[in-house]
Structure 1
Amino acid sequence: MPDSQPSALPPDLPASEDLLRVLLDISQSGVMLMRPVYDAAGTAVADFHLEHLNPAAQQMLRLPQRPAESFRTIYPTAEAAGVFAFYRDAFLSDQTARRENNYQHDGLDGYYLLVARRQGEVLVVSFTDTNDQPRTATEQALRASQVRELDARAEVEREREQLELLLHDAPAMICVFEGPEHVFGFVNPPYQALVGPRPLLGRAIAEAMPELAGQPIFDLLDNVYRTGETFRANEMLVQLDHDNEGRQELEKRYYNFIYQARHARTGAINGIFVFAYDVTPQVLARQQVQELNEELAAINEELRASNDEFLNANTALTHAQQELHLLNQELETRVSARTRELQQQQALLRQVLRQVPASIATLAGPEHRYSFFNEPYQQLTAQRPRLGRTVAETLPEVVAQGFVGRLDEVYLTGQPFEAKEALLELFDPGTGKTKPIYVDFVYQPLRDDDGQTTGILAFIVDSTAKVHARQAAEAAAQRLRLLTDALPVLISYIDVERRYRFMNHAYRAWFNQDPARLLGLPVREVVGEAAYANARGYIDRALAGERLAFEARMPYRKDFVRHIHTDYIPDEKNGEVRGFYALVTDITDQVEAREQVQELNEELAAINEEMLAANEELRDTNDRLSYTNVDLDTFVYTASHDLKAPIANIEGLLLALEEQLPEPVRQDADVTHLLGLMRGSVDRFQRTLVHLTDVSKLQQAHAEPAETVALLALVESVQLDLAPALAATHGQLVIDVAECPTVRFSPKNLRSIVYNLLSNAIKYHAPTRPPRVLLRATCPAGQVRLEVQDNGLGLSPAEQSKLFVMFRRLHTHVEGTGVGLYMVKRMVENAGGTIQVASTPGAGTIFTVLLPNRA
Structure 2
Amino acid sequence: MPDFTAPTLPDDVAHPTGLLDTLLTMSLTAVAVLQPLYDEHAEEIRDFAWVRLNPAGQQMLGQPERPPATLLTLFPTAKEDGVFEVCRQAFKTGELKRYQTYYQADGLDGYFLLIAQRYADLLVVNFTDTNDRPRTDVEEALRQSQAREQAARAEAELRRGELQRVFEQAPTAIAVYRGPNYTIELANPTVARLWGRTQEQLIGKGLFEALPEVAGMGYEQLLDEVMATGNPHVAHAMEAQHDRNGQRETVYWDFVYVPTYAADGHIDGAMVVANEVTEQVRARQRLEQLNQELEARVQERTQALATQQALLGQILQQVPACIATLSGPNHQYTFFNEPYQRLSANRTVLGKTVAEVFPEVVEQGFIELLDGVYSSGEPFISRDMPAQLYDVATGQPELSYIDLIYQPLFNDAQQVHGILAFAIDVTEKVQSRRQAEMLQEAMLAATQRQVQEREALYQIFEQTPAAISLTSGPDHHYIYLNTACQTLFAGRELLGRTVAEALPEASSQGLLALIDQVYQTGETYFGTDQLLFFNGPDDTVGHSRYYDFTYQAYRENGNIVGICTFAFDVTEQFQVRAQVQQLNEELAAINEELLATNEELLDTNNQLQRTNRDLDTFVYAASHDLKSPIANIEGLLNALRDYLPTEVQEPMVPRLVGMMEGSIARFQQTVAHLTDVSRLQQGAEELSPEGLDIAQVLENVRLDLLPLIESTNADVRIAVEACSNIRFSTKNMRSVLFNLLSNALKYRTPDRPPQVHVRSHCSDTHLLLEVADNGLGLSEKQQSQLFIMFRRLHTHVEGSGVGLYLIKRMIENAGGSITVQSQLGVGSTFTVSLPRRPEALSARSSPLNQ
> Shared fold (TM-score greater than 0.5)?
no
Which entry has the higher C-alpha Rg, 1 or 2?
2
Q: TM-score, normalised by structure 2?
A: 0.40
